[in-house]
A and B are shown apart, each in its own frame.
Chain A
Amino acid sequence: GEDVEQSLFLSVREGDSSVINCTYTDSSSTYLYWYKQEPGAGLQLLTYIFSNMDMKQDQRLTVLLNKKDKHLSLRIADTQTGDSAIYFCAEGPGTASKLTFGTGTRLQVTL
Chain B
Amino acid sequence: DGGITQSPKYLFRKEGQNVTLSCEQNLNHDAMYWYRQDPGQGLRLIYYSQIVNDFQKGDIAEGYSVSREKKESFPLTVTSAQKNPTAFYLCASSMEGQISDGYTFGSGTRLTVV
Contact = CB atoms under 8 A, between A and B. Distances in A.
B106 A99 contact: no
Interface of A: 8, 30-31, 33, 35, 40-45, 48, 50, 88, 90, 93, 98-99, 101-104
Contact of B108 (A35, A41, A104): A41
A88 B42 contact: yes
Given A31-B102, A90-B103, A99-B103, 17 more contacts: A30-B99, A31-B100, A35-B105, A42-B90, A42-B92, A42-B106, A42-B107, A43-B90, A43-B92, A45-B101, A45-B102, A48-B100, A48-B102, A90-B102, A98-B33, A98-B45, A104-B43
Contacts of B104: 45
Interface residues of B, number: 23
A99 B104 CA distance: 12
B110 A98 contact: no
Contacts of B35: 101
B42 A40 contact: no
B9 to A, nearest CB: 8
A8 to B, nearest CB: 6
A41 B101 CA distance: 19
